Structure 1
């Protein structure tokens, strides 16, 4: 259960905790950890923030955290993110936070985007809750080894027979996380926190064992291991909005419009859902099954959006954005997906007819997709984002300045991208 501000302050007092770990996520999706004295954590730390001037200088990078002038910045803490990091015994309590620059009030760091996207959803009147979920498997390997295969972390494939090393690793990982199913469907911010926490813990545990670990999708081949589809659904007053009984695939009109927004903005979204790791081979890596069709279909195949294969219930109806890399920053990419979907609902974007839903039709029967195929090269994605980002400015979630910084940083990163087919974690 998520803690409140009073819960956190009470725990600090009752357990006589002296040190607290603060976690901040930079634009590239890496955590910055800073251990501070517990006495710095006050009720105002969760609203106004802790002044950076009062914190140790080490661990802060103004450019990567997009916080502007650090002397005017504050770290705003999130009580609901409280957890015990098993790899930091000197800090019994860890808190995630985000950077806010006092001069302009605009929170530019990655984690703040998810909070602002949630606020934009609530104020839109279209829905009040957006649920996100990923279902990753783990890939493990030792020095000089090829991957030993996927390790399921819960749900689909849980009963699969595993090598002894893999089984022991999974058991220890889930024990450290304190849950048999680490990634349940949740609202944007806690869902992204959960993925980051899982990736961090898997990486740290693997390093202790002399291994490398990667989070990958269960459905895709190992050579496309960098992909990790994210499922999404909307609710209003606790009622699911994506279910339409008796319709094709039981999709509501709201869900179809949401899909329309994802497909319309897919070229720009790739600049936020990819890492630029495949400058030579295009998005997804050479030889991968990277999605190319701006369409939607059951399962996770060659389309940008996937739907459940089995007939869903109202509560389980969801859709998955497939064109997203496991190493993508979830705070950035998932916020962008939500805004694209909401834009589709506002503008009532038609995602296409039945042919787009059933790509298995023979070519002679299938009609053209309503959107042209994706150009998957990272540079093309950045150019698309430069011209198509008005939907990201809704609700003041992103800003034009933030997007310009992102594009420039990604352009600089491309020549330094990691080798293709290397999805292994570095957190």
Structure 2
């Protein structure tokens, strides 16, 4: 879709407002709305001005003027606004029209341009599986006189004895995978989400209830190129959250909102193509993978400790990344082991569908940064021929839980905390700087923002500490 098409849609659909959307460094979307009569060719050529100092990770107040440049190919009609509104995703530029280097979408676009410059492939495709919870209530507070959180769901196993109207069919702990109605009470809501996603341009493949209790779900949409998939993921989250709100529920992509049950991940499928030729397939290889694919895996696993600072960037991420909850904490690759950081799908896979699945990430990641970083790690593995078999990353097709302690000790693990991951990123980020995709300023800003998160969490008194220490 180009500028002229968008302008014709505004006229034909009698659009009243155009909503221009940008994303901050952390991955939160922001928007500014303009009456449709004020939007013309000049808007697309000159952009929309905004204050960059008010966005997390952007400019300071003395140099705050910035411009959002609309990308007409991202336009879609917003189903949640009463006045007919067209939403458009924007790139961010400086007042002199040069790209702003901290713009996450700009980083994703530079990663795609760098891929083509290397001559290794013409396109990288990404397909995230973003899990979420739909709660009926969420309350939390943190202050000098106390801190707490409380969540609730009509599906939750802890409500089996709830008084009042209680119709049973609660989801058991770790018992939520694929149950039919009435145990799965959210099918109609997910159907509505999928319908709106399809109307907005996403190609929905399937949806289902997930493993955890209390309303965990998953909706899969078709893969696309790197930047387009990141755009689609933000659109996906927008629709999930707003449909949930419409039904009096609240959606969260937080990795570990429930103690003692599975968390929500974002398994990311990825592959490289040269034109129409898939580069990850080779019949007869391990899981029918090519050497190119194995080197790509080598890059992902070699740089995984640093990558995880971008793919799992919350302190809560590391409450999910613990053994025993299907968590991919083991830095190995496997064609069947779901506790491996990299899994190779083999069921019903054609040559063009041959891909690798990085299972460690979660949806607190900024998708533009996370996908770009994964691509850069994989390309580094290809360029340096980092063979994961020679580097001790597998393949490991045995049940890890059946291994001896000595065998388990040989397996490399993902970082155990956000601080460990940030330290790894400080020490290992040269691969991200290739082709000026990332720069040191972006990485330093990211690390500073995330260390501020850690400091806030560490300095807040935890209710569990009262249980452990109050009577000592």
TM-score by length of 2: 0.76
* Structure 2 counterparts to residues 165-180 of structure 1, below 5 A: 165-178=185-198, 180=204
Is 1:410 aligned with 2:450?
yes
Aligned to 2:418: 378
Aligned to 1:142: 136
CA separation in 2, counterparts of 1:142 and 1:101?
A: 43
Task: Tell me by how many angstroms 1:321 deviates.
Answer: 0.9
Task: Tell me by how many angstroms 1:385 deviates.
Answer: 0.7
Q: Is the 8 A contact 1:295 1:352 kept in 2?
A: no
Aligned to 1:200: 238
| 3-state DSSP of counterpart to 1:66 | coil
Q: Which one is further off, 234-243 or 6-15?
A: 6-15
| 3-state DSSP of counterpart to 1:356 | coil
CA separation in 2, counterparts of 1:416 and 1:283?
A: 19
Deviations 1:148-180, CA, capped at 9 Å, x for gaps: 38xxxxxxx998623374122122222222355
Task: Tell me by how many angstroms 1:101 deviates.
Answer: 2.1
Is 1:8 aligned with 2:14?
no
Deviations 1:400-420, CA, capped at 9 Å, x for gaps: 001100000011112446999
CA separation in 2, counterparts of 1:232 and 1:97?
A: 25
Task: Tell me by how many angstroms 1:303 deviates.
Answer: 1.9
Q: Is the 8 A contact 1:224 1:284 kept in 2?
A: no
Q: Which one is further off, 132-141 or 236-245?
A: 132-141
Question: Alpha carbons of 1:388 and 1:18: their partners in 2 closer, same or farther (altered >3 Å)?
Answer: same
What is the aligned residue count?
A: 401
CA separation in 2, counterparts of 1:347 and 1:23?
A: 38
CA separation in 2, counterparts of 1:198 and 1:373?
A: 31
CA separation in 1, counterparts of 2:353 and 2:260?
A: 27
Deviations 1:309-348, CA, capped at 9 Å, x for gaps: 4262101111111111122111111111011101111111
Is 1:50 aligned with 2:44?
no
Task: Indicate which of 322, 332, 336 corresponds to 2:369.
Answer: 332
Aligned to 2:103: 109
Question: Alpha carbons of 1:300 and 1:50: their partners in 2 closer, same or farther (altered >3 Å)?
Answer: farther
Aligned to 2:339: 302
Is 1:79 aligned with 2:79?
no
Aligned to 1:350: 387
Q: Is the 8 A contact 1:355 1:367 kept in 2?
A: no
CA separation in 1, counterparts of 2:279 and 2:122?
A: 10
Q: Is the 8 A contact 1:276 1:417 kept in 2?
A: no
| 3-state DSSP of counterpart to 2:112 | helix
Question: Alpha carbons of 1:64 and 1:193: their partners in 2 closer, same or farther (altered >3 Å)?
Answer: same
| 3-state DSSP of counterpart to 2:251 | strand
Task: Tell me by how many angstroms 1:62 deviates.
Answer: 4.2
Task: Tell me by how many angstroms 1:76 deviates.
Answer: 1.4
Is 1:132 aligned with 2:126?
yes
Is 1:210 aligned with 2:248?
yes
Task: Indicate which of 52, 64, 82 corresponds to 2:56.
Answer: 64
Task: Indicate which of 155, 162, 167 corresponds to 2:181.
Answer: 162
Task: Tell me by how many angstroms 1:80 deviates.
Answer: 1.3
Question: Alpha carbons of 1:342 and 1:400: their partners in 2 closer, same or farther (altered >3 Å)?
Answer: same
Q: 4+ runs of 1 displaced by more than 6 Å? A: 366-371
Question: Alpha carbons of 1:183 and 1:285: their partners in 2 closer, same or farther (altered >3 Å)?
Answer: same
Q: Is the 8 A contact 2:335 2:397 kept in 1?
A: no
Q: Which one is further off, 231-240 or 372-381?
A: 372-381
Task: Tell me by how many angstroms 1:32 deviates.
Answer: 0.6
CA separation in 2, counterparts of 1:214 and 1:162?
A: 22
CA separation in 2, counterparts of 1:369 and 1:349?
A: 22
Aligned to 1:26: 24
Q: Name structure 2 gaps, 5 residues minimum.
A: 138-150, 157-175, 206-219, 463-472
Question: Alpha carbons of 1:212 and 1:160: their partners in 2 closer, same or farther (altered >3 Å)?
Answer: same
Q: Is the 8 A contact 2:57 2:449 kept in 1?
A: no
CA separation in 2, counterparts of 1:356 and 1:315?
A: 24
Deviations 1:193-221, CA, capped at 9 Å, x for gaps: 2211111111112122221224599xxx9
Question: Alpha carbons of 1:61 and 1:400: their partners in 2 closer, same or farther (altered >3 Å)?
Answer: same
Is 1:183 aligned with 2:217?
no
Q: Is the 8 A contact 1:294 1:372 kept in 2?
A: yes
CA separation in 1, counterparts of 2:308 and 2:393?
A: 24
CA separation in 2, counterparts of 1:65 and 1:10?
A: 36
CA separation in 1, counterparts of 2:283 and 2:305?
A: 31
Is 1:291 aligned with 2:310?
no
